Amino acid sequence: MMPRQLTPAGTTAFRATIKWLLEYRRLLIVLFHFGLIALSSYSAIWLRFDGQIPEHNWQPWLRALPWLLLLRALTFAWFRMYQGLWRYTGIWDLRNIVSAVVLSSLAHYLLVYWAFGWTSYPRAVFIIDSGVLVLLMGGVRMIHRIVTELQHTSGARRVLVYGAGDAGEMIVRDMRSQTGHSYRAVGFIDDDLRKVGERIHGVPVLGTRADLPRIMGEHRPDEVLLAIPRADPAVFRSVVRALDGYNIPIKTLPSLREILDNKAEINQIRNLSVQDLLSRETVDLDQAPTRALLRGRRVMVTGAGGSIGSELCRQIASFGATVLVLLDHAENGLFHISNELSDRGHGRGIHTVIGDVTDRARVEQVLRNYHPEIVFHAAAHKHVPMMEENSCEAVKNNVTGTRVMAEAAELCGVDRFILISTDKAVNPTSVMGATKRVAELLLQTQGQGSGTVFVTVRFGNVLGSSGSVVPRFLQQIKAGGPVTVTHPDMRRFFMLIPEAVQLVLHAAAGGENGRLYVLDMGEQVKLVDMARDLIRLAGFVPEAEIPITFVGLRPGEKLYEELFGEDEVAASSSMGKVMSVQSMTLPNREALATSVACLEELARQGDVTGVLAQLADIVPAFGHNRSPDEEVMPAPATDPAPVDVASPGRPAEAISEHGQECPACGSTDIHRSHAKSPVEHVRKSISPKRPYRCHACNWRGWLLPMDHGTPVGFAADVAALAPNFDTIDASEIIDSTTQKSVFAPRDL
């Protein structure tokens, strides 16, 4: 049977009634409260006399009732009891109800007994009336909320909430008080044993993290929600790995800095991301120095179309730079970032320039046209295996490009020049890392006596960049696997692109001339663990649904990266978690320039063997860290390698102690290492043990030195370490046309 339809006249009358109710809603609420006041007072006197009210008590009550209505009406108006939405009633409203009732009851008592002298009015009625009225007013306000919370949304997804704290309580309360959402909490998990067995809004705390398998089997939730915004990322990773065997989505809430007024709501639930699994807390730095540096300044960014370069452009534009020059040799990246900046309202003052950082004439032309005061040099070749096959191109872009940019910046009067470097420059095993280390050395020596401030910033891998492993993993997961990892023990530092750019900008604002800065990036992350986490976050079970295969180390790769070299000491800086790195030994500037000129000439000639040998000469750690099949051959006799006069020959740490074995892999390719920090220097002065490094597996630790006599063949090794003075003399006789001097302000 079809429901009856309203006639047009009936529809009009219904709408008119609703309009009248809404128009006079406040008056109806006042009248409703009058009814509650009268009902409460009558109930009080009826309860006092068990329904048998004597006449001499009834008459005073009747005479006092109008005054009671007036007093309570005025008091309720003062406490705004006629306003507010009842479905949001909470503790605040209950406090106002109690206060208004108590205050009006006290005024009524004083009026009846002291003003009118109606002593036959029962005193107990005042107390009973107050209690009944609080219950009535609170009850009618809670009816809507109680009905809503008792209703369970049909088809709602069963959610297991990890974290029985403030955020978990807020989210469950929101689930119960709102309709139209698709979540229903089935229980809490919390690592605090004191909470296990308790209930929050009627939802039980089922157990701790160790009870996850049992809870998952018994309650079979559809989703797991991590409601722990303050948690360390290690907690996130442990929960994700505990759920490896369950094909279940994992959700989370934003961090506290993303939650307005610390208020967690259902619509803030989002999928867990790889950023949540970083091995450290994200870094927030004071933006005031950066804003003061960039506002109203002319800035240039090289490599502006890349991941780091484009983020630099975004943040620099947001800080109010008047001119922003975007330089890159590839047009596509420049096109996208320039359009994005224009769409964000930063189009004015943006200049896109196509150019190569190795082209001195083009670089100087751009600098003279736009007169930038600050230059961020992010242009570089960064792919390690690719640069192993193209070592000459790595030298041209990473070494020649940096040298040309730095010399041109000084020549054209740039105030600050900031080089973007990498942790692969520390004890490098790859051509890319070695060339970036040469660039660091160039910049550190370029700042000596210069009017331009040269600063280097070093950090690890960035998540989501074009060269990051994360997009590669996601692509393989989308294709159904397998996910390829080079080695089960491969580890890397990771950070977010915005964090990396924050570090660069702060170094630009507070960096000292010739200094190198690095972010405290916490612990390294195993790539196999990251692969498992990404598979898990994609909704698959690692190994069972998406396999992981190990393909072996690629050319130039290390098992783990480092932030400081063996000849570097880290110290705290004035920039929070940004550390200043001090090199214990820097090469002589003229000797370095000679060696770099020889390296660049070998790269122009395409002499790969000579390039590798010259890189090993400039960066000794590069030659020591190469595997046997990548052993660097000596440079040809016709092109003698310049010698670093500050540290001729092989460094002392390269001398192995015969008979000493690595405790990690058993190799005898183990050598003395430098103390890296003040703590290690103190330990070295009071302990018989010394720091060692294994070049076979990169282990580093403290061992007792071997106390042997001079072994057979050792004298020959020592003789081999002696500097070749003929080579040194030859290196001083360089064709003046090869080393063309560059005029700079410091030459005045």
Q: Are 385 and 424 within one domain? A: yes
Q: How confident is the model at residue 402 (pLDDT cuts 50, 70, 90)?
A: very high
Model confidence at 605: pLDDT above 60:
yes
Query: What phi-psi label fits residue 481: left (phi over 0), alpha (psi between -120 and 50 degrees) or beta?
Result: left
Give Cα 298 distance to the centre of its chain. Answer: 29
Q: Are 246 and 331 within one domain? A: no
Predicted confidence at residue 697, as pLDDT, reads 67
Predicted confidence at residue 280, as pLDDT, reads 52
Residue 573 belongs to domain spanning:
288-586
Q: Largest Cα–Cα distance in the chain? A: 129
Model confidence at 654: pLDDT above 80:
no
Q: How confident is the model at residue 630 (pLDDT cuts 50, 70, 90)?
A: very low
The pair of structure tokens assigned to 676 is: 């890296």
Predicted confidence at residue 730, as pLDDT, reads 42
Q: Which of 316-330, 478-492, 605-619 has the lowest mean pLDDT?
A: 478-492
Predicted confidence at residue 262, as pLDDT, reads 44
- For β-strands 578-583 and 525-526, DSSP reports them as unpaired
Mean pLDDT of the chain: 76
Model confidence at 565: pLDDT above 80:
no
Please report whether residue 738 resides in a domain: no
Q: Are 305 and 205 within one domain? A: no
Whole-angstrom Cα distance, residue 92 to residue 90? 5
190 and 196 Cβ atoms separated by less than 8 Å: yes
Model confidence at 267: pLDDT above 60:
no
Model confidence at 705: pLDDT above 80:
no
Predicted confidence at residue 603, as pLDDT, reads 93
Model confidence at 5: pLDDT above 60:
no
418 and 457 Cβ atoms separated by less than 8 Å: yes
Predicted confidence at residue 710, as pLDDT, reads 39
Predicted confidence at residue 112, as pLDDT, reads 87
Mean pLDDT of 367-387: 91
The DSSP output letter for 114 is I
Predicted confidence at residue 264, as pLDDT, reads 45
Mean pLDDT of 673-686: 64
User: Can you name the residues that pair with 417 across neighbouring β-strands?
Assistant: 375, 454
Model confidence at 647: pLDDT above 80:
no
Q: Are 141 and 161 within one domain? A: no
Mean pLDDT of 39-44: 89
Q: Which of 22-26, 69-73, 166-170, 174-178 has the lowest mean pLDDT?
A: 22-26
CATH number at 325 reads 3.40.50.720
Residue by residue, DSSP assigns 595-611 as HHHHHHHHHHHT-HHHH
User: How many domains is the chain partitioned into structurally?
Assistant: 4
For the chain, the helix, strand and coil percentages under 3-state DSSP, each to the nearest 5: 50, 15, 35
Q: What percent of the chain has pLDDT over 70?
A: 72
Model confidence at 727: pLDDT above 50:
no
Mean pLDDT of 327-348: 89
Model confidence at 230: pLDDT above 70:
no
Model confidence at 50: pLDDT above 80:
yes
Q: Which of 201-215, 519-533, 619-633 has the lowest mean pLDDT?
A: 619-633
Predicted confidence at residue 8, as pLDDT, reads 61
Mean pLDDT of 503-518: 81
Of the three residues 115, 149, 183, the one that is the final residue of a domain is 149
Q: Are 429 and 495 within one domain? A: yes
Predicted confidence at residue 684, as pLDDT, reads 66
Predicted confidence at residue 178, as pLDDT, reads 64
Ranges 159-163, 220-224, 266-270, 301-305, most confident: 301-305
Rg (Cα) of the chain, in Å, rounded? 37
The pair of structure tokens assigned to 210 is: 């160790």
Predicted confidence at residue 312, as pLDDT, reads 92
3-state class (DSSP) for residue 460:
coil
Of the three residues 551, 569, 586, the one that is the final residue of a domain is 586
Q: How confident is the model at residue 231 (pLDDT cuts 50, 70, 90)?
A: low
Q: What percent of the chain has pLDDT over 90?
A: 17
Q: 139-152 pLDDT, tens per residue?
A: 887 776 666 655 55
Q: 286-325 pLDDT, tens per residue?
A: 678 888 889 899 999 999 988 889 999 999 998 889 999 9
Q: Are 176 and 317 within one domain? A: no
Please report whether residue 617 resides in a domain: no
The pair of structure tokens assigned to 467 is: 């060269």
Q: 108-144 pLDDT, tens per residue?
A: 889 888 888 888 888 888 899 888 988 888 888 777 6
Please report whether residue 661 resides in a domain: yes
Q: Which of 199-208, 449-458, 657-666 has the lowest mean pLDDT?
A: 657-666
Q: How confident is the model at residue 409 (pLDDT cuts 50, 70, 90)?
A: very high
Please report whether residue 606 resides in a domain: no
Model confidence at 445: pLDDT above 50:
yes
Q: How confident is the model at residue 261 (pLDDT cuts 50, 70, 90)?
A: very low
Model confidence at 441: pLDDT above 70:
yes
Please report whether residue 643 resides in a domain: no
Model confidence at 495: pLDDT above 90:
no
Whole-angstrom Cα distance, residue 722 to residue 738? 28
Predicted confidence at residue 738, as pLDDT, reads 39
Higher pLDDT, 466 or 415: 415
User: Can you name the residues that pair with 354 across neighbouring β-strands?
Assistant: 328
Please report whether residue 618 resides in a domain: no
Of the three residues 586, 617, 635, the one that is the final residue of a domain is 586
Ranges 80-94, 228-242, 432-446, most confident: 432-446
Q: Are 138 and 168 within one domain? A: no
Q: Are 172 and 138 within one domain? A: no
Higher pLDDT, 546 or 600: 600
3-state class (DSSP) for residue 244:
coil
Q: Which of 245, 214, 242, 213 is nearest to 226 (CA)?
A: 242
Tokens 């692509």 found at: 475
Q: Are 440 and 547 within one domain? A: yes
Please report whether residue 242 resides in a domain: yes
3-state class (DSSP) for residue 551:
coil
Predicted confidence at residue 639, as pLDDT, reads 38
Please report whether residue 1 resides in a domain: no
Q: Are 89 and 182 within one domain? A: no
Q: Are 449 and 566 within one domain? A: yes
Higher pLDDT, 169 or 654: 169
Whole-angstrom Cα distance, residue 5 to residue 396? 82
Predicted confidence at residue 424, as pLDDT, reads 87
Whole-angstrom Cα distance, residue 198 to residue 164? 10
Q: 177-193 pLDDT, tens per residue?
A: 666 566 788 889 888 88
Q: Are 566 and 472 within one domain? A: yes
3-state class (DSSP) for residue 694:
strand
